[in-house]
Amino acid sequence: MSSLRNAAKRTQHKERAQPAARRKVGLLEKHKDYVLRAQDFHKKEATIKQLRRKAEERNPDEFYYGMEQARTAGGVHIQRSTEANKYTQDELRLMKTQDVNYLALKAQAEAKKVERMQQSLHLIGAPAANQHVVFVDEDEEAERFDAARHFDTASELLERSYNRPRLAQLANAQAVSGAAEGAARTVAQLEKKRGGAYRELLQRQQRQQQLGALAQQMAYNKQVMGKGRKRKLQPEEGGGLSGVFRWKAERKR
């Protein structure tokens, strides 16, 4: 019977669409959307009702010893962080080791990026290494070769590999001004690119130094947390530096 029921023709279910006149208000809310919205509203309503009842039934003389160490800021209780008490010394040392390795990895990556940028920065705005080679048939023709005549341009523009106008274009004042504007625009673009590259290089160098210093500090803290008898030196004993420890010499097996 189930196969016969499935084979019977059924009416296709269609959701009611938003009328064209109300298209500006968005999609038409379906029943499942209303259910979710109502559940969320009633959940918040019940929470507020419960908090209001707790406030009404609160004992003004209520006291417990945790209140002595409690602090408030703007009427809001500040909970003390107990993260340091959740882990053992070995677990904290392991987490610091992972953090040190991660910082060292990031510092090494920044150092490689800085090295690549330093190698490529001097190429910005430098003359191109490619050359325009002209082949001739005879040695005499090579001796008499005139580059300005061959390229049909002025001798002052031979060093330019871009936007090099011909003599006919140089006769036109508009073309000459356009070439000058193009050259100035190219120089400005190169200067802007060089300035941005050097700023990025400086930022990456600073980031590399910060990561390296932070990794050293975390490695130092990990060593301090390690095993062994140690004593914190006074500033006059540690050469004017604070936070210097001296470990007791132990015989190595």
| Tens digits of residue pLDDT in 102-126 | 888 888 888 888 888 887 776 554 5
Contact 50, 41 (CB under 8 A): no
- The whole-angstrom distance between residue 128's C-alpha and the CA centroid of its chain comes to 33
Report residue 42's pLDDT band, with 50, 70 and 90 as the boundaries. very high
Contact 209, 94 (CB under 8 A): no
Residue 238 has pLDDT above 70, yes or no: no
Question: What does pTM read for this prediction?
Answer: 0.39
Q: How many angstroms separate the CA atoms of 179 and 187, rounded?
A: 12
Q: How many angstroms separate the CA atoms of 154 and 141, rounded?
A: 20
Which tens digit of pLDDT belongs to each residue from 137-170?
888 777 877 777 777 777 666 666 666 667 766 6
Q: How many angstroms separate the CA atoms of 55 and 19, rounded?
A: 48
Contact 113, 204 (CB under 8 A): yes
Which tens digit of pLDDT belongs to each residue from 181-234?
666 677 778 778 878 888 888 888 888 888 888 888 888 777 777 777 777 777
